[in-house]
Structure formats: C-alpha cells, structure tokens
Amino acid sequence: MHRRGSSIFLAAVVLAAFLGVRPAPAKQTQASAQRPVSNLVACTALEAHTSAQPGVTVVLFHQRDKKDQPRFASLLKQADGSTIEVRIGKGDWQTVSVARLRMCFGRGLLVFPAGAIKLRDKDEFQARFPAGKASTTQ
C-alpha cells in the first residue's frame, strides 16, 4: 500500500511538471505588497581623503549592514554618476556626487568640496538615493 501511494505521488509530480503546473507563490501581506523599496541605506566610510588643490574630499564607502547589500548595489548602480544625499547622525542632509566603483565590488565613491562634510575613516552615515525602481535582487 505504501509503495502504491508513493508511485501515485511520483506520477502526480511528473504530470504536474509536464503540464507546467507551478506551486502557488507565497502570499504577500497587503502592506508588504504596497510598500516601496526604501532608498535610505545606513553606510560606513571605509576611507576618506581630502586634497588641497583642487579642494576635494573623496570617500570610499559601502553599506553598513550585510543584509542591505543587494538593495545598496541596485541603488548605487542606478545613481552612478549623479548625486545622492548624505547625513551624519541627526545633522542636515548634504548633496554629494556619487560613483559606483565597477572594479571594487559593492563599493561607492562620494565626491564633495573639501570641508563641506566631515567624514572620516570608519564613520557611519545615512545615504539617501534618488527615488527609483530599486530591486532587492541583482
């Protein structure tokens, strides 16, 4: 009896696969289905360098939390060559130029006038990317 039940189950699986039947996707709650992907990411400055001439600061950065990596990568890719806003602590939002470093996976480069923002190695800050169609996968 057990063997016959297993055979019927196996036949049903094979038939479903042949007919292209797929399992129903997990249902999303109404809130999660309507919630837009956040364009705000907690980040960490890896290195910060300031030059006197021209008076520019560059900051190599990435997401602070590993769980944000796919979203960060998508947002960074979309914002490459444009501007984003950054904020340290509860300070004001500042507009900075951003570049995605293609040869340095998961890293971005902030560029802004020297003295405009005080970001040092290992500082944490928030980055607000332009609203867009960020995906959580890449």
| pLDDT digits 0-9 by tens, 73-124 | 999 999 999 999 999 999 999 999 999 998 888 899 999 999 999 999 999 9
Residue 76: Cβ within 10 Å count: 26
Indicate the number of domains in the chain.
1
pLDDT in the model for residue 104: 83
pTM: 0.69
Q: Which of 7-11, 30-34, 116-120 has the lowest mean pLDDT?
A: 7-11
Per-residue pLDDT averaged across 53-67, rounded?
A: 96
- Residue 19 counted as domain residue: no
- Alpha-carbon distance of 108 to 60, in angstroms, equals 6
- Residue 29 counted as domain residue: no
- Residue 85 counted as domain residue: yes
- Residue 62 counted as domain residue: yes
Provide the CATH number for the domain around residue 54.
2.40.30
Per-residue pLDDT averaged across 37-46, rounded?
A: 93
